[in-house]
């Protein structure tokens, strides 16, 4: 196999919230190294791009960089390769390589997958896939040097670092990456993981395209929304303050502080800095002093100058007196004010911060249902607005530092967010700077409205898999009954309620549609529906839903009988993980040795699980560590959903490239079970075919991974003027030009 390992060095620093941004006018490409293994011959080439312009060393943009020919190269390899690719994405050689079907290998991503995400698990070496860490663990011949990184820390510009020093640093990076790759490639074959690594890297190439394309932001809409948001927050805070008692001077209540909200709801202390008068040892207050001039008296009569320039004027003298007008001196002291309890908190809500209880969204909603406190709705709404303002717009701190999503707009007017492949413990993607995966489209949040098309006559498209995680669970378990329930639109909350009340599903469904009392029951049982998935016991489910334990137990027994294959599957995964357990150097919070176990998906992806402290009831049996059941039950289906999404966007990217459509149809973002496109309206005609490709999961996975699925993976496809208003539905499905 002919391959090339490469690495680039660029301007060091953070520009518009992106490290060494290739999209900034202030940055440039400084150097690059290329190691070729071609036709059993090796060659190493280095390129230096710095130009001196009016006495200042400057790098260049990747489009103008000299890159050795990549003809006949099948695989392009790098460590965190997306960073390097984005710098050279407009380069003729790189474009030709990708257009000709060239594939990539990221040694950081491969390490993450080959290790079963061990270095990302709680207690593990968090995100331990840096080049230095991987080269050291794999005992590579070449290790990463620290000299240039040290120079950056001292304030050196990459452009000003001596060429020989930079090349030596670059040389070791490239060769260390090559050493790692060769070890990984062999390990991937031994573990049978080559197909999943190959397909996931296609997904990495697609997200590289997404980051390069970026998202267009309507800054006028964003500024208008921010101004309105600031007004709304002030008004809502003013309204909520009416519920507070009169607070002492200096005691400020912040509705955006979870500790303050905890004290308000459950009773607790507000801590603040109060001003107290300073007293001397005799109990007299200290006053500020001031100088005053008083007339000189003799026998209580003024004394006058008898000669000189002041002759005839009264004599005065300066004395120091207490400044009564200014008041006594004060000092800041720590003070506390106790708020009365409005509701009794559940013990399970206790926070790690002593004296406080949790105030997360799910708990606040539970409080609203249980205590019928209308103020909770107002608190939730305000918390959402405060979050939106600080996260998705622009906020200026007291020191002048700016934060928020709008600070991420690059010099090209687009937001090029980070889609991270090797950070989560489930193999799903994460999104940072900004986080574009947790923007709510529900409720009153208007954030998505700011993302519109870059084209004058364009649309934003959202294509979303229907209940992907649940379908994945049914597929993994081979549970046709659960799959039928999903495909037939069974409402799982109504079904749980039917099981609990010993009624038919149709009866409960009808009642929940029309009867307010049953609507309330359905809402209450939601906590049990979700809680059971995450390992909650009968007493907890009963307490959270308000339904008698006997009914919860009956519902659970009925559910386990109906979906017995799913429960058998969960037991099988847990048993497999336990049997594969190996001790590690990691420790549980209580100090016990944490074991590490794995389970391999039908696609070849391996999921890792790290033990934690066992529940207290197991301690009596001499069991002190255990694999967390909720993680065992949920990570595999979440991970498969993420893998399907990555594989399918990788396929979509390739087809758009092959059909020369990437100039018009822009991949711009993906969120767990959906993908976003930006395109002119003239390209809407392609959406039935694109939707058809994304639904083509089972046949493709059967071909690539040897699965035997016969399951429809349905998507909904909608488009509109912006990311919030994708209201035009595309119902037609066709393969057409994308039939592979």
Mean pLDDT (whole number) for 308-328: 89
User: Taking a C-beta distance cutoff of 8 angstroms, is the pair 467, 486 a contact?
Assistant: yes
Show the tokens assigned to 374.
């209308």
Show the tokens assigned to 309.
């320039």
pLDDT at residue number 112: 96
Strands 41-48 and 29-38: antiparallel
- CB under 8 Å to 605, separation ≥6 — which residues? 113, 193, 196, 200, 427, 639, 640, 643
pLDDT at residue number 627: 93
Tens digits of residue pLDDT in 147-160:
899 999 999 999 99
- pLDDT at 456 exceeding the cut of 90: yes
Lowest mean pLDDT among 115-119, 322-326, 581-585: 322-326
Q: What are the φ/ψ torsions at residue 8 (nearest 5 degrees)? A: -125, 155
Show the tokens assigned to 600.
């391999």
- pLDDT at 272 exceeding the cut of 50: yes
- pLDDT at 443 exceeding the cut of 60: no
| Cα of 157 vs its chain's centroid, Å | 30
Q: Within 10 Å of residue 455's Cβ, how many Cβ atoms?
A: 16
pLDDT at residue number 361: 83
Mean pLDDT (whole number) for 554-559: 92
Confidence of residue 398 (pLDDT cuts 50, 70, 90): confident
- pLDDT at 388 exceeding the cut of 90: no
Strands 75-78 and 297-298: unpaired
Cα–Cα distance list, 569 to 117, 426, 562, 579, 599 (Å): 22, 18, 14, 15, 12
Confidence of residue 124 (pLDDT cuts 50, 70, 90): very low
Q: Within 10 Å of residue 87's Cβ, how many Cβ atoms?
A: 26
Q: Which residue has the higher pLDDT, 401 or 543?
A: 401
User: Taking a C-beta distance cutoff of 8 angstroms, is the pair 244, 237 a contact?
Assistant: no
Nearest 5 degrees, angle CA 23-CA 26-CA 32?
A: 70
Mean pLDDT (whole number) for 115-121: 89
CA 414 – CA 454 distance, rounded (Å)? 9
DSSP assignment of 282-318 equals TSPBPB-EEEEEEE-EETTEE-B--SSTTTTSBPEEE
Tens digits of residue pLDDT in 327-377:
899 888 999 999 999 888 888 788 888 889 999 887 888 787 777 778 888
Domains in the chain, start-ordered, CATH in brackets?
3-191 (3.30.420.10), 219-274+332-408 (no CATH), 287-327 (no CATH), 471-602+613-624 (no CATH)
Category of 246 on φ-ψ map: left (φ > 0), alpha (ψ -120 to 50) or beta? beta
- pLDDT at 271 exceeding the cut of 80: yes
CA 288 – CA 254 distance, rounded (Å)? 33
pLDDT at residue number 122: 60
CA 393 – CA 382 distance, rounded (Å)? 16
- pLDDT at 739 exceeding the cut of 50: no
pTM of the model: 0.87
Mean pLDDT score across all residues of the chain: 91
Residue written as token pair 């359905």: 522
CA 617 – CA 541 distance, rounded (Å)? 18
CA 9 – CA 32 distance, rounded (Å)? 6
Q: Would you call the peptide bond into 477 cis, given omega within 30 degrees of 0 as the criterion?
A: no
Mean pLDDT (whole number) for 391-399: 84
DSSP helix, strand, coil percent of the chain (3-state; round to 5): 45, 20, 35
CA 344 – CA 17 distance, rounded (Å)? 43
Tens digits of residue pLDDT in 645-669:
999 999 999 999 999 999 999 999 9
Tens digits of residue pLDDT in 680-725:
999 999 999 999 999 999 999 999 999 999 999 999 999 999 999 9
- pLDDT at 589 exceeding the cut of 90: no
CA 303 – CA 301 distance, rounded (Å)? 7
- pLDDT at 125 exceeding the cut of 80: no
Q: What are the φ/ψ torsions at residue 298 (nearest 5 degrees)? A: -140, 120
Cα–Cα distance list, 494 to 467, 498, 508, 529, 549 (Å): 17, 6, 6, 10, 18
Tell me what percent of the residues of the chain surpass a pLDDT of 70.
98
């Amino acid at each position: 196999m002919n391959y090339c390992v490469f690495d680039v060095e660029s301007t060091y620093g953070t520009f518009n919230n992106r490290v060494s941004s290739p999209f900034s006018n202030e940055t440039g490409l400084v150097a690059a190294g290329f190691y070729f293994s071609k036709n059993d011959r090796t060659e190493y080439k280095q390129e230096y791009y710095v130009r001196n312009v009016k006495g200042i060393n400057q790098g260049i943009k990747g489009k103008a960089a000299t890159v050795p020919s990549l003809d006949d190269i099948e695989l392009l390899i790098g460590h965190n390769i997306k960073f390097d690719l984005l710098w050279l994405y407009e380069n003729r050689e790189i474009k030709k390589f990708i257009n000709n079907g060239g594939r990539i290998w990221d040694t950081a991503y491969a390490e993450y997958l080959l290790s079963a995400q061990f270095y990302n698990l709680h207690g593990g070496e968090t995100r331990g896939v840096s080049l230095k860490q991987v080269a050291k663990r794999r005992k590579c011949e070449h290790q990463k040097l620290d000299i240039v990184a040290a120079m950056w820390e001292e304030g050196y510009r990459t452009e000003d670092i001596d060429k020989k020093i930079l090349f030596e640093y670059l040389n070791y990076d490239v060769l260390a990456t090559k050493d790692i790759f060769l070890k990984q490639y062999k390990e991937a074959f031994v573990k049978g993981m080559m197909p999943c690594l190959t397909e996931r890297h296609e997904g990495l190439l697609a997200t590289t395209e997404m980051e390069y394309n970026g998202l267009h932001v309507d800054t006028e809409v964003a500024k208008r929304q921010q101004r309105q948001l600031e007004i709304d927050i002030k008004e809502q805070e003013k309204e909520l303050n009416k519920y507070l008692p009169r607070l002492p001077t200096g005691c400020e209540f912040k509705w955006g502080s979870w500790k303050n909200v905890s004290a308000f709801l459950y009773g607790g202390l507000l801590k603040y800095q109060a001003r107290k008068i300073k007293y001397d040892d005799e109990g007299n207050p200290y006053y500020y002093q001031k100088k005053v001039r008083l007339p000189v008296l003799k026998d209580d009569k003024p004394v006058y100058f008898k000669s000189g320039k002041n002759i005839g004027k009264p004599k005065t003298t300066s004395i120091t007196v207490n400044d009564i007008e200014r008041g006594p001196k004060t000092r800041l002291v720590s003070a506390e004010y106790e708020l009365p309890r409005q509701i009794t908190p559940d013990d399970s809500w206790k926070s790690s911060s002593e004296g406080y209880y949790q105030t997360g969204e799910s708990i606040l909603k539970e409080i609203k249902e249980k205590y019928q406190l209308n103020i909770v709705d107002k608190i939730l709404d305000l918390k959402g607005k405060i979050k939106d303002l600080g996260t998705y717009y622009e906020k200026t701190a007291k020191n002048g530092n700016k934060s928020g999503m709008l600070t991420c707009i690059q010099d090209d007017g687009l937001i090029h967010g980070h889609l991270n492949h090797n950070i989560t413990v489930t193999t799903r993607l994460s999104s940072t700077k900004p986080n574009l995966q947790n923007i709510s489209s529900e409720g009153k949040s208007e954030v998505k409205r700011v993302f519109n098309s870059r084209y004058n006559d364009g649309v934003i498209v959202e294509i979303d898999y229907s209940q992907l995680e649940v379908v994945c669970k049914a597929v993994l378990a081979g549970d046709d009954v659960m799959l039928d329930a999903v495909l037939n639109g069974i409402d799982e909350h109504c079904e749980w309620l039917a099981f609990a009340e010993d009624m038919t599903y149709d009866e409960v469904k009808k009642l929940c549609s029309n009867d307010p009392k049953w609507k309330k029951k359905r809402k209450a049982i939601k906590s049990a529906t979700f809680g059971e998935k995450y390992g909650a016991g009968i007493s907890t489910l009963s307490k959270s839903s308000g339904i008698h334990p006997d009914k919860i137990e009956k519902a659970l027994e009925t559910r386990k009988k109906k979906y017995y294959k799913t429960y058998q599957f969960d037991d099988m995964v847990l048993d497999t993980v336990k049997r594969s357990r190996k001790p590690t150097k990691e420790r549980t919070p209580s100090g016990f040795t944490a074991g590490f176990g794995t389970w391999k998906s039908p696609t070849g992806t391996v999921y890792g699980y790290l033990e934690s402290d066992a529940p207290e009831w197991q301690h009596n049996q001499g069991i002190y560590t255990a694999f967390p059941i909720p993680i065992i039950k949920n990570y595999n289906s979440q991970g498969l959903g993420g893998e399907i999404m990555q594989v399918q966007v990788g396929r979509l990217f390739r087809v758009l490239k092959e059909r020369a459509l990437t100039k018009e149809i822009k991949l711009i973002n993906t969120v767990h079970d959906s993908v976003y496109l930006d395109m002119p309206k003239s390209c809407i005609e392609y959406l039935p075919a694109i939707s058809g490709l994304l639904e083509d999961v089972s046949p493709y996975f059967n071909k690539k991974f040897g699965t035997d699925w016969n399951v429809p993976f349905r998507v909904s496809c909608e488009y509109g003027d912006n990311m919030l208003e994708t209201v035009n539905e595309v119902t037609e499905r066709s393969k057409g030009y994308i039939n592979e």
